[in-house]
Amino acid sequence: MAICLAMVTACGSSDDGALDVVLIGTPESVYTQDLRLSPGAQILRAATQGGLVALDAHGEVVPALAETWLPTEDGLSYIFRLRDIPWPDGSEMTAASARAALERAIGGLEGTALAQDLAPIEEVRAMAGRVIEIRLSAPEPDLLKLLAQSELALRHEGGFTGPMILTRETADEENAEEGDAAAGRFARLDFKPPLERGMPMADNWQDHVREVEITVAQAREAIVMFEAGDVELVLAGDLGGLPLVDTGPLSSGTLRVDATFGLFGLHVRRDGGLLGNNGVREALAMAIDREGLLATFNIGGLVPTTRPVSPGLPGDPGFIAERWRDMVLAERRQEAAVRIDAWRRQFDDGDLSQPARLTITMGEGPGWDRLLQELDAQMAQIGITIERSETARTADLALMDKIARYPAPRWFLNQFHCGLELGLCSEAADELVAQAMQQMDLSARASLMAQAEAELMAENVYIPIGAPLRWSLVRGGVEGFEANIYGFHPLPPMAQRPR
């Protein structure tokens, strides 16, 4: 056993070669130039395109293109001083050009939940030299976390503004012409010289960094590559691929699970038929055995909740409690079955001897298959069957599996904003969020946010299950990887050699 473990540890973990990484996804989703990024694309974008600030391995905000920043005392303005480095095409990085790049990034997010998060930004001003100011309509304690998102990178013609340069590769020209699945999924990342990263030049700086070899693959292939010792790191794993991973005791040194905040549950997409009745929507939420549902995955970190906002957020005033605490599961399911039967007897023209049918859109993978099977089994006890929808557009329900970009109620509530037109929403909740954001006093804001959560909960537009789960596979020789609440693992720290 000792010999085998030594071989596994050594294989693929060479400290004198490239860092071999697999990002779970598809080439189209990872190498996109779009501003709507998959988890793998966020990791790649953060390595190659820089924002004013960035997230480090711990999920903390660190300098990027801005070397310093200073908030004003009233919290209504942030002053950023840019590094003295050029744009990739050699032109000067001025305050005006940086402002234009930031405004392009913000404008490109119109119609997304992230745009709602950025709504407090009232103006971006170019000041003297390399200084820009971001003015806010109300204090936003999480502004730096927002600016550190990969989507807020300052991109410019001529190349990459981040610390690393991306070179795309294909398996070979013949495969590329034949449309082989391997073609176009490989890439290499190389560090820029220190001066181009705004750092002092150092002799032999190349000796302290590694290039990164990127492969994009689905979870099954990524795990096989890791187990064979071909790669040192697998990133962007979710619940869909978790059953493919060995979660036994011998995996404890390689399987890393991030305990996150976020949304993991069912969003009601259509308000017709059965789901047009609020009492019936609540019945579905009442009937779910969340502990049993998550226990099928046999891994820690899956925390059940009946709240749309993750419990335990920093500064949570404790105004909102878990639902149905005075009812055991059997009582909840009995009440749910009565409501559904009553609705069907009044409105359903179909065969009442058969379960009512609902459809759901969700990802592909054994984990999602297991989740659907367990949900269907639980819903069968109240007279409902759940099936995968043939198209996302016509689904009754959508599985939400999103990690919060910042740990505050506003992120959660903005995911259901009526302006996004993604499904059922609550205009009353949106109005309370808007009122909260006008408050200068943060305790008054927290109170209004709690009221907004209560409104959203009362409308039952979202059926919470728990928090999202993210996993990675990490070889023992890789340094710079840290589990964090954002499930985000930047590549540059892992490609640096200890001095």
In whole angstroms, what is the distance from residue 243 CA to residue 368 CA?
Answer: 10
Rounded to 5°, angle at Cα 369 from 404 and 400: 20
What is the location of CATH 3.10.105.10 in the chain? 262-467
Q: In what order do the strands lie in the sheet with 469-474?
A: 164-169, 186-191, 212-217, 19-24, 233-237, 469-474, 255-259
- Give the three-class secondary structure for 483: coil
Is 1-49+162-260+469-499 a domain of CATH 3.40.190.10? yes
CATH 3.90.76.10 intervals, the chain: 50-154
Superfamily (CATH H level) for 50-154: Dipeptide-binding Protein; Domain 1 (3.90.76.10)
The predicted pLDDT at position 249 comes to: 62
Report helix, strand and coil shares of the chain as percent, to nearest 5: 35, 20, 45
Return the SS3 of 318. Answer: coil
Start and end residues for every CATH 3.40.190.10 domain found in the chain? 1-49+162-260+469-499
Mean pLDDT by 10 residues, the chain (499 residues): 35 64 96 93 97 97 97 96 95 96 97 96 95 96 97 94 91 42 78 91 89 97 95 97 82 84 96 94 98 90 92 86 96 98 90 91 96 97 95 94 96 98 97 96 93 98 96 94 96 90
Contact criterion met (CB below 8 Å) for 52 and 102:
yes
pLDDT of residue 486: 96
Asked if 238 and 468 count as a contact pair (C-beta separation under 8 A), the reply is yes
* Residue 169, pLDDT score: 78
Question: CA 432, 435, 441: angle at the middle one, nearest 5?
Answer: 120
Hey, what are 266's tokens?
């069912």
Q: Spelled out in words, what is the top-level CATH class assigned to the domain 262-467?
A: alpha beta
pLDDT for the residue 352: 84
Return the amino acid letter for 139: P
pTM of the model: 0.92
pLDDT at 8: 37
